[in-house]
Structures are given as structure tokens and as C-alpha cells.
Amino acid sequence: MTNEEAEESPSPEEQNAAEDESIESEEMEETALEIEEGDKEEESYEETVEEEAEESRRRVEEEEEEFVEERIYTIPLRRAWIASPRKRAPRAIHIMKSFVQRHMKVGEATFEEETEERERGRVIISKEVNEEIWSRGIEKPPRKLRIRAARDAEGNVTIFLA
């Protein structure tokens, strides 16, 4: 080889440096594409989260509008403490349901209409109320509970914490 040819052809070190630069530039392009895709995924995720939140707000508003009648009661649960310790929380649930049935007039009918009334109206306990009764375990339900009873258009009464 002559000096001119040696100068024109890159040395092995220069070839490795050039390859490293091309590999680095390819990696940078790939990471840039990944970042753009990640941004798109985050944007789509944020959009879906916002849409779901808006739908849940609409559902809550519809539920609030559905209620025909709403009353607030303080239910005495002291009679649950008469039962044996392992039956107190279930008895408190039963006392609360019967109290709401009596005061909101759910399911009152004559013998012939009884089956129709049972289908139309019933007492529904919300998760928060149930957790409040069971919060201290089966043996120690609260002595009294303040609730909000709401009747919907179908005649069902839902119990919420007041």
C-alpha cells in the first residue's frame, strides 16, 4: 500500500468509532420513537381516565336525580346487644332493615298483594353502612347509627351514611 491509499482507507480504530456512532444514533432514534409512543400511550390513558371519570359523574348525578324521597334517621341498635356476642352485628343489620321498612313503609301490603310488593320494593344497604356496622367486629356493633334512607322510582330504599 502506498501512503495515499493508507490515508484514504480508515484505520480499524476509526472504523470502530464510526460504527459506534452509527449504532448510537440508531439507538437514539429508537429511544426517541419509544418515548413518542409512550407519550401517545400516556395521552390515550389520560383520555380514557378522564372519560371514565366523566361517565361515573354522570351515573352519580343520575342516581341522585332518581331518588323520589329522602329521610334521615338515627337508628337505635341497642337491642342488638341483647343477643349473644357472636350474633350482634348480623342482628344489628336485621334491626336496621326492619326499622327502615317500618318507617319508610317498604313492602306493606295485604296478603294478595304481598308477592307484588316484595318484587317492587326492598331495602338495600350501601357498602359504607355495612362497613360501619362491622368496623369493630361481630361482637361490638355501634349502639346507634345515623343514616340517610332514599327511595328511588322503583320503590327500593337505599341506606347511606348521613
Q: Is the dihedral of CA 102, 89, 82, 162 positive or negative?
A: negative
The reported pLDDT for the residue numbered 110 is 46
What value does the mean pLDDT take over residues 34-51? 68
User: Which residue type is seen at 39?
Assistant: D
- Summarize the confidence of residues 63-85 as an average pLDDT: 89
Which pLDDT does position 50 carry in this prediction? 81
Residues 88-99 pLDDT 10s: 999 999 999 999
Average pLDDT of span 48-76: 78
pLDDT digits (tens, 9 = 90+) for 99-141: 999 999 998 654 555 555 455 689 999 999 999 999 999 999 9
Contacts of 155 by beta carbon, 8 Å cutoff, 6+ apart: 106, 120, 121
